[in-house]
Structure 1
Amino acid sequence: MKSISRFRGPSLILLVTVHFLLFVAGLVTASVLRHGGQFVTPFAPAEQLRAFLALSPTAVRVSNFFLFASAIPFGIFAVTTVSRLRFRGVRAAGTNISLLGGLIATIALILSGCVGWILSVPEVLASAPIIKAVNFLNFLLGGVVFAVGFGLLAAGVSVTCYFMRLLPRWLVIFGMLLALSGELSSLSLVAYPANFFIPITRYLGFIWMFSVSIALTRDRKGSQPTSSSDAI
Protein backbone atom coordinates (compact mmCIF):
# COMPACT_ATOMS: atom_id res chain seq x y z
CA MET A 1 0.00 0.00 0.00
CA LYS A 2 1.31 3.44 -0.95
CA SER A 3 1.86 5.71 2.05
CA ILE A 4 0.80 9.33 1.73
CA SER A 5 2.78 11.83 3.74
CA ARG A 6 1.42 15.04 5.12
CA PHE A 7 2.87 18.46 4.35
CA ARG A 8 4.56 20.01 7.35
CA GLY A 9 4.86 23.77 7.32
CA PRO A 10 3.28 27.03 8.49
CA SER A 11 -0.35 27.79 7.67
CA LEU A 12 -0.66 29.83 4.47
CA ILE A 13 -3.93 31.34 5.67
CA LEU A 14 -2.33 32.45 8.94
CA LEU A 15 0.64 33.98 7.12
CA VAL A 16 -1.59 35.97 4.75
CA THR A 17 -3.74 37.13 7.65
CA VAL A 18 -0.74 38.36 9.64
CA HIS A 19 0.72 40.08 6.56
CA PHE A 20 -2.61 41.77 5.81
CA LEU A 21 -3.15 42.92 9.42
CA LEU A 22 0.36 44.39 9.65
CA PHE A 23 -0.12 46.23 6.37
CA VAL A 24 -3.48 47.63 7.50
CA ALA A 25 -1.96 48.58 10.87
CA GLY A 26 0.56 50.71 9.00
CA LEU A 27 -2.20 52.53 7.10
CA VAL A 28 -4.28 53.07 10.23
CA THR A 29 -1.27 54.27 12.20
CA ALA A 30 -0.33 56.76 9.51
CA SER A 31 -3.88 58.12 9.54
CA VAL A 32 -4.33 58.27 13.33
CA LEU A 33 -0.93 59.74 14.22
CA ARG A 34 -0.86 62.28 11.41
CA HIS A 35 -1.26 65.84 12.65
CA GLY A 36 -3.28 67.49 9.91
CA GLY A 37 -2.12 68.36 6.44
CA GLN A 38 -3.48 67.09 3.14
CA PHE A 39 -1.82 63.93 1.86
CA VAL A 40 0.73 64.57 -0.88
CA THR A 41 2.20 62.13 -3.39
CA PRO A 42 5.92 61.58 -4.09
CA PHE A 43 5.41 63.67 -7.24
CA ALA A 44 4.50 66.79 -5.26
CA PRO A 45 6.97 69.71 -5.04
CA ALA A 46 9.89 69.00 -2.70
CA GLU A 47 9.05 71.74 -0.21
CA GLN A 48 5.39 70.70 -0.05
CA LEU A 49 6.47 67.11 0.57
CA ARG A 50 8.91 68.19 3.29
CA ALA A 51 6.24 70.25 5.07
CA PHE A 52 3.80 67.34 5.01
CA LEU A 53 6.25 64.78 6.41
CA ALA A 54 7.61 67.20 9.03
CA LEU A 55 4.13 67.46 10.57
CA SER A 56 4.08 63.84 11.76
CA PRO A 57 7.48 62.13 12.00
CA THR A 58 6.07 59.62 14.51
CA ALA A 59 3.40 58.53 12.03
CA VAL A 60 6.08 58.06 9.38
CA ARG A 61 8.29 56.04 11.73
CA VAL A 62 5.59 53.73 13.07
CA SER A 63 3.81 53.14 9.74
CA ASN A 64 7.09 52.16 8.08
CA PHE A 65 7.83 49.83 10.99
CA PHE A 66 4.60 47.97 10.21
CA LEU A 67 5.48 47.92 6.50
CA PHE A 68 8.85 46.41 7.36
CA ALA A 69 7.22 43.86 9.67
CA SER A 70 4.66 42.85 7.02
CA ALA A 71 7.49 41.68 4.77
CA ILE A 72 8.35 38.75 7.05
CA PRO A 73 5.05 36.82 6.85
CA PHE A 74 4.85 37.68 3.15
CA GLY A 75 8.26 36.14 2.50
CA ILE A 76 7.38 33.04 4.51
CA PHE A 77 4.13 32.79 2.54
CA ALA A 78 6.01 32.84 -0.76
CA VAL A 79 8.55 30.23 0.34
CA THR A 80 5.87 28.00 1.87
CA THR A 81 3.72 28.19 -1.27
CA VAL A 82 6.66 27.06 -3.39
CA SER A 83 7.41 24.31 -0.87
CA ARG A 84 3.81 23.08 -1.10
CA LEU A 85 3.97 22.91 -4.89
CA ARG A 86 7.21 20.94 -4.80
CA PHE A 87 5.77 18.65 -2.13
CA ARG A 88 2.96 17.82 -4.55
CA GLY A 89 5.48 16.68 -7.11
CA VAL A 90 5.92 19.81 -9.21
CA ARG A 91 9.32 19.81 -10.92
CA ALA A 92 8.79 22.86 -13.09
CA ALA A 93 10.55 26.16 -13.64
CA GLY A 94 7.38 27.90 -12.48
CA THR A 95 8.21 27.17 -8.84
CA ASN A 96 11.59 28.87 -9.21
CA ILE A 97 9.94 31.85 -10.92
CA SER A 98 7.51 32.06 -8.01
CA LEU A 99 10.36 31.92 -5.51
CA LEU A 100 12.27 34.64 -7.37
CA GLY A 101 9.20 36.87 -7.44
CA GLY A 102 8.47 36.27 -3.78
CA LEU A 103 12.03 37.12 -2.76
CA ILE A 104 12.04 40.29 -4.89
CA ALA A 105 8.74 41.45 -3.37
CA THR A 106 9.88 40.59 0.17
CA ILE A 107 13.19 42.44 -0.15
CA ALA A 108 11.35 45.38 -1.73
CA LEU A 109 9.05 45.66 1.31
CA ILE A 110 11.95 45.38 3.74
CA LEU A 111 13.95 48.08 1.97
CA SER A 112 10.89 50.29 1.52
CA GLY A 113 10.17 50.14 5.24
CA CYS A 114 13.77 50.99 6.11
CA VAL A 115 14.03 53.80 3.56
CA GLY A 116 10.65 55.18 4.62
CA TRP A 117 11.78 55.18 8.26
CA ILE A 118 14.65 57.52 7.30
CA LEU A 119 12.01 60.14 6.47
CA SER A 120 11.29 60.48 10.18
CA VAL A 121 14.85 61.58 11.06
CA PRO A 122 14.93 65.32 11.94
CA GLU A 123 18.17 65.97 10.05
CA VAL A 124 16.68 64.44 6.90
CA LEU A 125 13.44 66.40 7.31
CA ALA A 126 15.46 69.62 7.23
CA SER A 127 16.40 69.13 3.58
CA ALA A 128 13.68 69.21 0.92
CA PRO A 129 15.91 67.76 -1.88
CA ILE A 130 16.97 64.81 0.31
CA ILE A 131 13.35 64.15 1.31
CA LYS A 132 12.33 64.18 -2.34
CA ALA A 133 15.00 61.65 -3.28
CA VAL A 134 14.38 59.35 -0.30
CA ASN A 135 10.61 59.47 -0.75
CA PHE A 136 10.91 58.56 -4.42
CA LEU A 137 13.14 55.62 -3.50
CA ASN A 138 10.59 54.53 -0.90
CA PHE A 139 7.85 54.73 -3.52
CA LEU A 140 9.82 52.80 -6.14
CA LEU A 141 10.70 49.98 -3.74
CA GLY A 142 7.31 49.60 -2.08
CA GLY A 143 5.39 50.29 -5.27
CA VAL A 144 7.05 49.37 -8.56
CA VAL A 145 9.60 46.78 -7.39
CA PHE A 146 7.10 45.06 -5.08
CA ALA A 147 4.43 44.92 -7.81
CA VAL A 148 6.85 43.43 -10.35
CA GLY A 149 8.00 40.81 -7.84
CA PHE A 150 4.43 40.00 -6.86
CA GLY A 151 3.57 39.63 -10.54
CA LEU A 152 6.29 37.00 -10.97
CA LEU A 153 5.05 35.18 -7.86
CA ALA A 154 1.47 35.14 -9.15
CA ALA A 155 2.53 34.09 -12.65
CA GLY A 156 4.71 31.20 -11.46
CA VAL A 157 2.05 29.84 -9.12
CA SER A 158 -0.83 30.30 -11.56
CA VAL A 159 0.77 28.73 -14.63
CA THR A 160 2.22 25.82 -12.66
CA CYS A 161 -1.09 25.15 -10.90
CA TYR A 162 -2.91 25.31 -14.24
CA PHE A 163 -0.93 22.38 -15.64
CA MET A 164 -1.10 20.48 -12.36
CA ARG A 165 -4.80 21.33 -11.86
CA LEU A 166 -4.14 22.47 -8.29
CA LEU A 167 -6.22 25.66 -8.48
CA PRO A 168 -9.68 26.46 -9.91
CA ARG A 169 -9.58 27.89 -13.43
CA TRP A 170 -10.99 31.25 -12.30
CA LEU A 171 -8.21 31.61 -9.73
CA VAL A 172 -5.57 30.80 -12.33
CA ILE A 173 -6.99 33.48 -14.64
CA PHE A 174 -7.17 35.93 -11.76
CA GLY A 175 -3.53 35.23 -10.92
CA MET A 176 -2.41 35.75 -14.51
CA LEU A 177 -4.25 39.07 -14.70
CA LEU A 178 -2.54 40.13 -11.48
CA ALA A 179 0.79 39.03 -12.93
CA LEU A 180 0.15 41.16 -16.01
CA SER A 181 -0.82 44.12 -13.83
CA GLY A 182 2.33 43.71 -11.76
CA GLU A 183 4.62 43.67 -14.77
CA LEU A 184 2.81 46.60 -16.41
CA SER A 185 3.43 48.64 -13.27
CA SER A 186 7.09 48.79 -14.33
CA LEU A 187 5.98 51.17 -17.11
CA SER A 188 5.40 53.78 -14.41
CA LEU A 189 9.15 54.39 -14.63
CA VAL A 190 8.55 56.00 -18.03
CA ALA A 191 4.84 56.91 -17.97
CA TYR A 192 3.03 58.36 -14.95
CA PRO A 193 -0.43 56.82 -15.75
CA ALA A 194 1.05 53.32 -15.34
CA ASN A 195 1.13 53.97 -11.57
CA PHE A 196 -2.51 52.89 -11.72
CA PHE A 197 -1.34 49.26 -11.91
CA ILE A 198 0.49 49.41 -8.57
CA PRO A 199 -2.56 49.65 -6.24
CA ILE A 200 -4.44 47.14 -8.43
CA THR A 201 -1.66 44.60 -7.92
CA ARG A 202 -1.30 45.44 -4.24
CA TYR A 203 -4.90 45.34 -3.06
CA LEU A 204 -6.29 42.65 -5.37
CA GLY A 205 -3.18 40.69 -4.46
CA PHE A 206 -4.53 40.21 -0.95
CA ILE A 207 -7.64 38.52 -2.38
CA TRP A 208 -5.48 36.29 -4.56
CA MET A 209 -3.25 35.31 -1.65
CA PHE A 210 -6.20 34.40 0.58
CA SER A 211 -7.81 32.42 -2.26
CA VAL A 212 -4.63 30.51 -3.08
CA SER A 213 -4.08 29.76 0.61
CA ILE A 214 -7.53 28.23 0.94
CA ALA A 215 -7.25 26.25 -2.30
CA LEU A 216 -3.81 24.79 -1.57
CA THR A 217 -4.55 23.87 2.04
CA ARG A 218 -7.90 22.20 1.35
CA ASP A 219 -6.11 18.88 0.92
CA ARG A 220 -3.09 18.78 3.22
CA LYS A 221 -1.93 15.38 1.95
CA GLY A 222 0.72 14.97 -0.67
CA SER A 223 0.19 13.80 -4.21
CA GLN A 224 2.40 11.88 -6.59
CA PRO A 225 4.13 13.65 -9.49
CA THR A 226 2.30 13.56 -12.80
CA SER A 227 3.53 13.86 -16.36
CA SER A 228 2.33 17.49 -16.48
CA SER A 229 4.62 18.51 -13.63
CA ASP A 230 7.43 19.25 -16.09
CA ALA A 231 5.24 21.28 -18.42
CA ILE A 232 6.72 24.65 -17.48
Structure 2
Amino acid sequence: MNDSTGDRIRTDRPTGRQGGPPLAPVAAVSLTLLLAGLAVGVALGGVMPLPYGPAAEVVRYIHDNHSAVQASAVGTFAASVPLAIYAATVSTRLRQLGVTAPGATIALAGGILAAGALALSGLICWTMSRAEVVVDDGLIRALYYLVFLTGGVGHIVALGLLLAGIAVPGLVLGLLPRPVAWIGLVIAALAELATLVLIWPESSVILPIARFTGLIWLIVVGVLLPARRAARIRS
Protein backbone atom coordinates (compact mmCIF):
# COMPACT_ATOMS: atom_id res chain seq x y z
CA MET A 1 0.00 0.00 0.00
CA ASN A 2 2.86 2.34 0.83
CA ASP A 3 4.46 1.62 -2.53
CA SER A 4 1.20 2.40 -4.33
CA THR A 5 0.80 5.67 -2.46
CA GLY A 6 4.38 6.63 -3.24
CA ASP A 7 3.88 5.91 -6.95
CA ARG A 8 0.76 8.04 -7.01
CA ILE A 9 2.53 10.94 -5.32
CA ARG A 10 5.40 10.79 -7.77
CA THR A 11 2.99 10.66 -10.71
CA ASP A 12 1.11 13.73 -9.49
CA ARG A 13 4.27 15.79 -9.14
CA PRO A 14 5.37 18.11 -11.96
CA THR A 15 7.41 16.37 -14.60
CA GLY A 16 10.20 18.96 -14.33
CA ARG A 17 9.62 20.37 -17.80
CA GLN A 18 10.48 24.02 -18.08
CA GLY A 19 8.47 26.22 -20.38
CA GLY A 20 11.17 28.85 -20.82
CA PRO A 21 10.52 32.59 -20.98
CA PRO A 22 7.00 33.79 -21.87
CA LEU A 23 6.71 33.97 -25.63
CA ALA A 24 4.59 37.08 -26.09
CA PRO A 25 6.91 39.48 -24.22
CA VAL A 26 9.97 38.06 -26.01
CA ALA A 27 8.39 38.69 -29.43
CA ALA A 28 7.19 42.11 -28.28
CA VAL A 29 10.74 43.05 -27.24
CA SER A 30 12.07 42.04 -30.66
CA LEU A 31 9.43 44.14 -32.43
CA THR A 32 9.99 47.09 -30.10
CA LEU A 33 13.76 47.10 -30.61
CA LEU A 34 13.35 46.91 -34.36
CA LEU A 35 10.86 49.78 -34.40
CA ALA A 36 12.95 51.84 -31.99
CA GLY A 37 16.05 51.56 -34.19
CA LEU A 38 14.00 52.43 -37.25
CA ALA A 39 12.31 55.40 -35.56
CA VAL A 40 15.56 56.86 -34.25
CA GLY A 41 17.20 56.39 -37.63
CA VAL A 42 14.36 58.17 -39.42
CA ALA A 43 14.35 60.96 -36.83
CA LEU A 44 18.09 61.53 -37.30
CA GLY A 45 18.44 61.13 -41.04
CA GLY A 46 15.08 60.57 -42.70
CA VAL A 47 13.95 57.46 -44.53
CA MET A 48 16.78 55.36 -45.95
CA PRO A 49 16.67 55.21 -49.77
CA LEU A 50 16.00 51.96 -51.56
CA PRO A 51 19.18 50.15 -52.63
CA TYR A 52 18.11 49.85 -56.27
CA GLY A 53 17.31 53.56 -56.52
CA PRO A 54 19.71 56.24 -57.76
CA ALA A 55 23.23 55.45 -56.59
CA ALA A 56 23.92 59.08 -55.69
CA GLU A 57 21.08 59.11 -53.13
CA VAL A 58 22.41 56.02 -51.37
CA VAL A 59 25.98 57.34 -51.23
CA ARG A 60 24.83 60.77 -50.03
CA TYR A 61 22.66 59.29 -47.29
CA ILE A 62 25.45 57.09 -45.91
CA HIS A 63 28.01 59.91 -45.99
CA ASP A 64 25.72 62.45 -44.32
CA ASN A 65 23.92 60.32 -41.70
CA HIS A 66 26.39 58.19 -39.77
CA SER A 67 24.40 58.48 -36.53
CA ALA A 68 21.14 57.47 -38.21
CA VAL A 69 22.78 54.44 -39.82
CA GLN A 70 24.31 53.42 -36.51
CA ALA A 71 20.98 53.74 -34.67
CA SER A 72 19.25 51.53 -37.23
CA ALA A 73 22.10 49.03 -37.00
CA VAL A 74 21.93 48.78 -33.22
CA GLY A 75 18.16 48.32 -33.20
CA THR A 76 18.31 45.68 -35.91
CA PHE A 77 21.06 43.71 -34.23
CA ALA A 78 19.42 43.93 -30.81
CA ALA A 79 16.11 42.68 -32.22
CA SER A 80 17.76 39.48 -33.42
CA VAL A 81 18.53 38.27 -29.88
CA PRO A 82 14.95 37.93 -28.54
CA LEU A 83 13.91 36.46 -31.90
CA ALA A 84 16.44 33.65 -31.47
CA ILE A 85 15.21 33.10 -27.91
CA TYR A 86 11.63 32.93 -29.19
CA ALA A 87 12.54 30.32 -31.80
CA ALA A 88 14.30 28.10 -29.28
CA THR A 89 11.50 28.43 -26.74
CA VAL A 90 8.59 27.86 -29.12
CA SER A 91 10.21 24.78 -30.69
CA THR A 92 10.65 23.28 -27.23
CA ARG A 93 7.06 24.19 -26.35
CA LEU A 94 5.76 22.49 -29.49
CA ARG A 95 7.62 19.28 -28.65
CA GLN A 96 6.25 19.33 -25.12
CA LEU A 97 2.79 19.70 -26.62
CA GLY A 98 3.29 16.47 -28.55
CA VAL A 99 4.44 17.75 -31.96
CA THR A 100 6.46 14.88 -33.44
CA ALA A 101 6.25 16.06 -37.07
CA PRO A 102 9.01 18.30 -38.47
CA GLY A 103 7.06 21.45 -37.59
CA ALA A 104 8.95 22.12 -34.36
CA THR A 105 12.31 21.64 -36.08
CA ILE A 106 11.26 23.83 -39.02
CA ALA A 107 10.22 26.55 -36.56
CA LEU A 108 13.60 26.34 -34.81
CA ALA A 109 15.59 26.35 -38.06
CA GLY A 110 13.55 29.20 -39.54
CA GLY A 111 13.79 31.26 -36.36
CA ILE A 112 17.54 30.82 -36.02
CA LEU A 113 18.07 31.67 -39.70
CA ALA A 114 15.80 34.72 -39.38
CA ALA A 115 17.61 35.91 -36.25
CA GLY A 116 21.01 35.27 -37.83
CA ALA A 117 20.12 37.19 -40.99
CA LEU A 118 18.82 40.08 -38.91
CA ALA A 119 21.97 40.12 -36.77
CA LEU A 120 24.20 40.04 -39.86
CA SER A 121 22.24 42.88 -41.41
CA GLY A 122 22.68 44.96 -38.27
CA LEU A 123 26.43 44.32 -38.14
CA ILE A 124 26.93 45.20 -41.80
CA CYS A 125 24.83 48.32 -41.31
CA TRP A 126 26.97 49.29 -38.31
CA THR A 127 30.07 48.86 -40.48
CA MET A 128 28.62 51.38 -42.91
CA SER A 129 28.29 53.91 -40.09
CA ARG A 130 32.08 54.12 -39.76
CA ALA A 131 33.51 57.07 -41.66
CA GLU A 132 36.84 55.31 -42.19
CA VAL A 133 35.10 52.43 -43.98
CA VAL A 134 32.76 54.18 -46.41
CA VAL A 135 35.41 55.96 -48.44
CA ASP A 136 34.62 54.18 -51.70
CA ASP A 137 31.29 54.62 -53.44
CA GLY A 138 31.34 51.09 -54.85
CA LEU A 139 31.92 49.64 -51.38
CA ILE A 140 29.02 51.66 -50.00
CA ARG A 141 26.70 50.28 -52.67
CA ALA A 142 27.86 46.71 -52.05
CA LEU A 143 27.39 46.93 -48.28
CA TYR A 144 24.03 48.64 -48.71
CA TYR A 145 22.79 45.80 -50.90
CA LEU A 146 24.00 43.27 -48.34
CA VAL A 147 22.06 45.04 -45.59
CA PHE A 148 18.95 44.95 -47.76
CA LEU A 149 19.36 41.31 -48.75
CA THR A 150 20.16 39.92 -45.30
CA GLY A 151 17.78 42.06 -43.26
CA GLY A 152 15.13 42.08 -45.96
CA VAL A 153 14.75 39.06 -48.24
CA GLY A 154 16.88 36.62 -46.23
CA HIS A 155 15.30 37.51 -42.90
CA ILE A 156 11.71 37.56 -44.17
CA VAL A 157 11.89 34.23 -46.02
CA ALA A 158 13.38 32.54 -42.95
CA LEU A 159 10.76 34.22 -40.74
CA GLY A 160 8.12 32.59 -42.94
CA LEU A 161 9.55 29.18 -42.03
CA LEU A 162 9.23 30.03 -38.34
CA LEU A 163 5.60 31.03 -38.81
CA ALA A 164 4.76 27.95 -40.87
CA GLY A 165 6.49 25.66 -38.39
CA ILE A 166 4.17 26.97 -35.68
CA ALA A 167 0.98 27.42 -37.70
CA VAL A 168 0.83 23.95 -39.29
CA PRO A 169 0.96 21.89 -36.07
CA GLY A 170 -1.13 24.57 -34.40
CA LEU A 171 -3.82 23.92 -37.00
CA VAL A 172 -3.49 20.13 -37.26
CA LEU A 173 -3.35 19.45 -33.52
CA GLY A 174 -5.72 22.22 -32.50
CA LEU A 175 -3.09 24.03 -30.45
CA LEU A 176 -4.20 27.38 -31.84
CA PRO A 177 -7.61 28.74 -32.82
CA ARG A 178 -8.16 27.87 -36.46
CA PRO A 179 -8.45 31.49 -37.68
CA VAL A 180 -5.15 32.36 -35.98
CA ALA A 181 -3.41 29.33 -37.48
CA TRP A 182 -4.73 30.12 -40.97
CA ILE A 183 -3.63 33.75 -40.68
CA GLY A 184 -0.16 32.50 -39.75
CA LEU A 185 -0.07 30.31 -42.84
CA VAL A 186 -1.11 33.22 -45.07
CA ILE A 187 1.61 35.47 -43.61
CA ALA A 188 4.13 32.63 -43.99
CA ALA A 189 3.20 32.23 -47.66
CA LEU A 190 3.54 35.98 -48.17
CA ALA A 191 6.97 35.86 -46.52
CA GLU A 192 8.11 33.14 -48.89
CA LEU A 193 6.94 35.28 -51.81
CA ALA A 194 9.57 37.80 -50.73
CA THR A 195 11.95 35.72 -52.84
CA LEU A 196 10.40 37.52 -55.83
CA VAL A 197 12.22 40.68 -54.75
CA LEU A 198 15.41 39.12 -56.15
CA ILE A 199 13.74 39.01 -59.57
CA TRP A 200 11.36 41.97 -59.38
CA PRO A 201 12.71 44.62 -56.96
CA GLU A 202 9.46 46.59 -57.06
CA SER A 203 7.80 43.76 -55.11
CA SER A 204 9.79 44.82 -52.04
CA VAL A 205 6.55 46.21 -50.62
CA ILE A 206 6.07 42.62 -49.42
CA LEU A 207 8.98 42.95 -46.99
CA PRO A 208 7.58 45.39 -44.39
CA ILE A 209 4.12 43.83 -44.59
CA ALA A 210 5.40 40.30 -43.96
CA ARG A 211 7.91 41.46 -41.34
CA PHE A 212 5.57 43.38 -39.06
CA THR A 213 2.47 41.21 -39.48
CA GLY A 214 4.68 38.19 -38.82
CA LEU A 215 6.11 39.63 -35.61
CA ILE A 216 2.66 40.69 -34.42
CA TRP A 217 1.39 37.17 -35.16
CA LEU A 218 4.21 35.74 -33.05
CA ILE A 219 3.07 37.93 -30.15
CA VAL A 220 -0.50 36.65 -30.53
CA VAL A 221 0.75 33.06 -30.64
CA GLY A 222 2.76 33.70 -27.50
CA VAL A 223 -0.49 34.54 -25.73
CA LEU A 224 -2.61 31.71 -27.17
CA LEU A 225 -0.22 28.75 -27.39
CA PRO A 226 -0.78 26.57 -24.31
CA ALA A 227 2.11 25.68 -22.04
CA ARG A 228 0.90 22.07 -21.79
CA ARG A 229 -1.88 19.89 -23.07
CA ALA A 230 -4.95 19.51 -20.89
CA ALA A 231 -4.55 16.53 -18.58
CA ARG A 232 -6.58 13.50 -19.56
CA ILE A 233 -9.00 12.03 -17.06
CA ARG A 234 -7.82 8.63 -15.98
CA SER A 235 -10.24 5.79 -15.33
TM-score, normalisation: structure 2: 0.88
Counting only pairs closer than 5 Å after superposition, residues 158-177 of structure 1 correspond to structure 2 as 158-177=167-186
What are structure 2's unaligned runs of at least 5 residues?
1-7
Against the structure 1 CA distance between its residues 187 and 61, is the aligned structure 2 distance closer, same or farther, given a 3 Å change threshold? same
Counting only pairs closer than 5 Å after superposition, residues 119-138 of structure 1 correspond to structure 2 as 119-138=128-147
Structure (1 or 2) with the larger CA radius of gyration: 2
Task: Check if 1:145 corresponds to 2:154.
Answer: yes
> Matches of 1:74 and 1:164 in 2, distance apart?
24
Per the alignment, in what secondary structure is the counterpart of residue 122 of structure 1? Answer: coil
**Structure 2 partner of 1:24:** 35
Shift of 1:194: 2.6
> Matches of 2:51 and 2:231 in 1, distance apart?
50
> Matches of 1:57 and 1:65 in 2, distance apart?
12
Counting only pairs closer than 5 Å after superposition, residues 66-145 of structure 1 correspond to structure 2 as 66-145=75-154
Q: Which amino acid aligns with 1:9?
A: G
Shift of 1:39: 4.2
Shift of 1:157: 0.8
Per the alignment, in what secondary structure is the counterpart of residue 184 of structure 1? Answer: helix
Worse overlay, 4-13 or 85-94: 4-13
**Structure 1 partner of 2:19:** 8
Per the alignment, in what secondary structure is the counterpart of residue 227 of structure 2? Answer: coil
Shift of 1:52: 1.2
What are structure 1's unaligned runs of at least 5 residues?
226-232
Question: Residues 46 and 131 of structure 1 are in contact (CA less than 8 Å); yes or no, is this contact kept in structure 2?
Answer: no
**Structure 1 partner of 2:227:** 220
Percent identical among aligned pairs is 35
> Matches of 2:52 and 2:69 in 1, distance apart?
18
Shift of 1:7: 3.9
Q: Which amino acid aligns with 2:121?
A: S
Shift of 1:224: 7.2
Question: Residues 19 and 89 of structure 2 are in contact (CA less than 8 Å); yes or no, is this contact kept in structure 1?
Answer: no
Shift of 1:220: 3.2
**Structure 1 partner of 2:5:** none
Shift of 1:121: 1.5
Shift of 1:8: 3.0
> Matches of 1:142 and 1:211 in 2, distance apart?
23
RMSD: 1.9
Q: Which amino acid aligns with 1:208?
A: W
